[in-house]
Structure formats: structure tokens, C-alpha cells
């Protein structure tokens, strides 16, 4: 028979071992969960990574392409932030708020730069920065004189009972309409449409396809400049703050963003950005342009031509369009200081070697440029097996010539660096002249050309990323 004291002693040992076992299981499950959550980065991790991953909503205010250039209120704010930090941006389109929050929490994004309002429920899931601006939710409907005979012009929220309000799924508007339905004691019929942007629903109201939708007031006032037959005067919420969101655990990132937003909002640069997207008289004309990706869908007047020739040589037409944007801004007769001509800025000798008879003819110029890219690709096909790295060598050679890029690869190899990686080689392309030959006036110019080539690669791929985000292949 076990003595009483010994029995208690064994009991405590067993209890202790059970606690240790449960703790080990919990720790293992926590590690497993963390592994599934991806790269849960905070401020210093992002700085070290060199890339800020941002979820942004695609619409005519926050993020779009106009005349080949990425633009938008949120886009420009993020670019200003990344310039301050000395890092690059990576934009991911997410118009589904529920999915955006999930992606933020699992580490797919570092920041939600969407039109997200601060609510008590959302504060349980994410951390919000200092507000960027305030807004209220409003009913978007046709003005009384434009309303159909069987449509009620809503002047009071109580008139929304038994009315069908069309909204995008997974937006803040659904919760507010549900709350409003409770407040007024009658059912509001919430219709979830499959269109991707709020502004599409706004357009449908203007065209009479639907009667009502909901929108943030600051955006609704802007959309009213697009569609003068709309009324946006009926407010259905109190003023709400709009802010960026970060993971609740990203304390350092939130602290930095709070300070940066507060300071940046006091600057002329911020006022210029805000004016460009919310106050400028040119906003409506830009929106209705055929070169706006929301309304017109074109990058340039040469889309069909570029698509046809790109397909002929098996290139992504969006990449070719990005090259043309940076080479000529889609001007077929432009001539550079060095004598390069046309959409793809061909040198006359290069054009001649590819059978180009009229260097300013868009079709001949683009085909000659793509043939040059094809030739350059063959020069690096075996030397740089990774296609995502190889395209950077090709673009640099297109800009500065094959010789300097090959020289930079050789120097990188001699210096013990990996000459298959653009990051290693580009350093020497920017600096190789000064490293080898000194600093007379000729070599300084060549040094500047090396920097220009590296910048060209960055700019072309930057635009190409945005074209891929927004424009179908």
C-alpha cells in the first residue's frame, strides 16, 4: 500500500508531466500554425526584404492605368511611402474585403490600402493606422427628374423598406444596410451583384439598370461628376474614418505608418495627390478616356498592333507595351538625343539590319524592336537559365547594348559574385567604368548610361507588373 504522502507526491509528478505534455502539444500546434501563415513580417523584416506587399482595390480612384501609366490615390501614397523607406512595392488587387483581411492575417500582404472604414468588429481582427480621411455611406440614386415613374426618390432612410439595394459582396455596405434595416424596423432587400467595382454599380444606376446602390460619400461626390443625373445626398451612416490596416502583431510597422501618415498629410505632395484624384476638373475627362483601364480598357492606340506582333514572336504584349511606354510614350516619330527613333526607339543601323524600311512606321518599328529582343534572348538563353532573371539582362542590353552587360557579367564573375543573378550583375553595370578606367568625361557618361540601363529595367518591369495586375493577357 502506497503511503498517503507518497501518493500525493506521485499525483503532483503525473500532473506536472501532463502539463508539460499539453504545453509541448500546444507549442507544436502553434509552430505548425505559424508555418502555415507565411511571412508574418514586421517593419524591420520588410526593410530587410526590400519589398512592401500591398493589397489595393482596383477602381478609378485608388488604382488603375491611364495612358500606360499606373495611377491612383492609394497607389501614389504607397509609392511615396516606399520611396521614403528605400524599398519597392508589390501590389496585389483585392476587391473582396473578407479575403483581404484574411490575406493580411496570414502574411500574404503587409498593408491593406483599400477603402476600408474603421469599425469595432474590424478592430478585433486588424490594427488600423492613423486615418487618411473621413467619409459617410450614402445612397446613390437618380435625381428626381431622371427617376422612372415607378421608382421612388428616396429622401428618408425609412423609405428604403422593401426597396432593392444593389451592392458588391463582402463590402462594408452590407453590414450597414443590415443595421439600418433593424433601426427602421423594416426589411431592406440587399442584392449582391457579381460586378467587381462599386463604380460599375454606380454606372448601372445612372443608366437605369438598377435603382439604388451604396457608396462612400467622398467617392460618390466624385462619381456624380462622371454622371450628372445622380443624387448622392441621402446619408445612411455617421462619419467614419478610412485608414490602412496591418496585422495586429505588426506593432513596429503600425507605429512607423502612424507617424509617416500624420507627417505626410501636412505636405504639399499629399495635397497634390489628393487634388489629382478628388478635386481636379480633369478627373471626369480622364475617366471617360479610352486609355483608362476602367472605362476604355486600352493601354495605347497601338494595342491591336502590339498584340498581333507579340503573338507572332511569342512575347507578352503587355511587356512590349511597357517597353514602348518607357521608350517613346507611344509617340511613333519621337527621336532621342542619341538618334534612336520611333515607338521602340530603334537606332537606324539596327532598324536596317532587321529590314525596317520606314523607321517611323509603327508596325515596322515594333516588329524590328521585337526581333532585337528575340536576338538578345538567344544570347542569354543558356547563360541565364532562369527566365525571370534572363528578362532583366535582355532589357538592360536592349537599352545600353549587349557589350556593357556582358562586361558587367564578366566582372561579377571575377569578383566572386553570381553572374546569373541580375542583382549581382547590375551593381557592376552601374559601376564598372569607374572601377576599371577612372573618371574622365567619356567614362562618366558611360557610367551614367549604366545607371540608366539599370533604372530602365526597374521601370519597365514595374509597369509590366501593374499591366499584369489589371489587363488581361
Active-site amino acid positions: 327
Q: Say how far apart CA 339 and CA 348 lie, in whole Å.
A: 8
Handedness of CA 222, 223, 226, 232 (dihedral sign): negative
Alpha helices (runs of H) in 86-230, residue ranges in sequence order? 97-105, 120-123, 172-184, 198-206, 217-226
CA triplet 158, 193, 90: central angle to 5 degrees?
115
C-alpha cell at 283: 478627373
The cell 511597357 sits on which residue?
A: 322
Asked if residue 199 lies in contact with residue 60, where contact means CB atoms within 8 angstroms, the answer is yes
Q: Say how far apart CA 363 and CA 96 lie, in whole Å.
A: 40
Asked if residue 99 lies in contact with residue 170, where contact means CB atoms within 8 angstroms, the answer is yes
Q: Say how far apart CA 468 and CA 456 lie, in whole Å.
A: 18
Task: Show the beta-strand stretches assigned E in 47-87.
Answer: 51-56, 64-66, 69-71
Q: Say how far apart CA 214 and CA 179 lie, in whole Å.
A: 14
Q: Say how far apart CA 208 and CA 373 lie, in whole Å.
A: 49
Q: Which of 206, 220, 196, 204 is nearest to 139 (CA)?
A: 220
Alpha helices (runs of H) in 1-54, residue ranges in sequence order? 4-36, 43-49
Q: Say how far apart CA 111 and CA 304 lie, in whole Å.
A: 36
Q: Which of 237, 253, 224 is nearest to 112 (CA)?
A: 253
Length of the chain: 473
Amino acid at each position: 500500500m502506497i503511503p498517503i504522502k507518497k501518493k500525493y507526491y506521485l499525483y503532483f509528478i503525473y500532473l506536472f508531466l501532463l502539463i508539460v505534455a499539453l504545453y509541448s502539444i500546444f507549442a507544436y500546434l502553434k509552430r505548425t500554425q505559424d508555418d502555415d501563415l507565411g511571412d508574418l513580417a514586421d517593419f524591420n523584416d520588410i526593410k530587410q526584404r526590400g519589398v512592401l506587399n500591398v493589397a489595393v482595390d482596383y477602381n478609378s480612384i485608388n488604382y488603375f492605368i491611364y495612358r500606360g501609366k499606373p495611377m491612383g490615390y492609394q497607389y501614389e501614397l504607397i509609392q511615396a511611402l516606399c520611396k521614403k523607406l528605400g524599398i519597392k512595392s508589390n501590389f496585389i488587387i483585392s476587391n473582396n474585403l473578407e479575403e483581404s483581411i484574411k490575406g493580411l492575417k496570414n502574411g500574404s500582404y503587409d498593408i491593406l490600402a483599400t477603402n476600408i472604414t474603421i469599425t469595432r468588429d474590424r478592430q478585433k481582427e486588424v490594427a488600423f493606422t492613423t486615418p487618411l480621411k473621413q467619409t459617410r455611406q450614402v445612397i446613390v440614386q437618380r435625381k428626381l427628374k431622371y427617376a422612372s415613374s415607378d421608382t421612388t426618390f428616396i429622401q428618408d432612410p425609412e423609405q428604403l423598406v422593401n426597396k432593392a439595394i444593389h451592392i458588391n459582396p463582402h463590402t462594408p455596405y452590407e453590414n450597414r444596410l443590415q443595421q439600418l434595416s433593424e433601426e427602421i424596423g423594416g426589411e431592406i432587400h440587399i442584392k449582391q451583384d457579381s460586378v467587381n467595382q462599386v463604380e460599375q454599380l454606380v454606372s448601372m444606376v445612372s443608366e437605369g439598370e438598377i435603382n439604388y446602390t451604396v457608396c462612400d460619400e467622398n467617392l460618390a461626390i466624385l462619381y456624380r461628376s462622371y454622371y450628372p443625373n445622380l443624387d448622392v445626398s441621402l446619408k445612411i451612416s455617421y462619419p467614419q474614418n478610412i485608414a490602412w490596416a496591418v496585422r495586429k502583431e505588426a506593432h513596429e510597422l503600425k507605429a512607423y505608418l502612424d507617424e509617416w501618415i500624420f507627417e505626410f498629410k501636412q505636405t504639399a505632395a499629399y495635397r497634390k495627390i489628393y487634388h489629382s484624384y478628388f478635386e481636379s476638373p480633369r478627373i471626369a475627362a480622364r475617366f471617360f478616356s479610352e486609355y483608362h483601364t476602367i472605362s476604355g480598357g486600352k493601354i495605347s492606340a497601338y494595342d491591336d498592333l502590339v498584340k498581333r506582333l507579340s503573338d507572332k514572336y511569342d512575347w507578352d504584349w503587355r511587356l512590349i507595351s511597357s517597353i514602348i511606354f518607357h521608350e517613346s510614350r507611344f509617340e511613333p516619330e519621337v527621336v532621342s538625343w542619341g538618334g534612336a527613333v520611333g515607338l521602340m526607339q530603334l537606332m537606324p543601323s539596327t532598324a536596317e539590319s532587321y529590314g525596317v524600311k520606314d523607321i517611323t512606321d509603327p508596325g515596322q518599328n515594333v516588329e524590328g524592336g521585337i526581333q532585337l529582343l528575340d536576338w538578345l534572348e538567344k544570347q542569354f538563353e543558356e547563360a541565364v537559365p532562369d527566365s525571370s532573371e534572363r528578362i532583366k539582362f535582355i532589357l538592360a542590353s536592349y537599352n545600353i547594348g549587349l557589350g556593357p552587360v556582358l562586361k558587367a557579367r564578366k566582372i561579377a564573375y571575377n569578383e566572386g559574385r553570381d553572374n546569373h543573378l541580375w542583382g549581382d550583375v547590375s551593381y557592376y553595370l552601374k559601376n564598372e567604368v569607374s572601377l576599371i578606367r577612372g573618371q574622365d568625361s567619356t567614362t562618366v557618361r558611360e557610367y551614367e548610361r549604366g545607371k540608366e540601363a539599370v533604372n530602365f529595367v526597374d521601370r519597365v518591369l514595374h509597369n509590366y507588373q501593374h499591366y499584369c495586375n489589371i489587363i488581361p493577357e
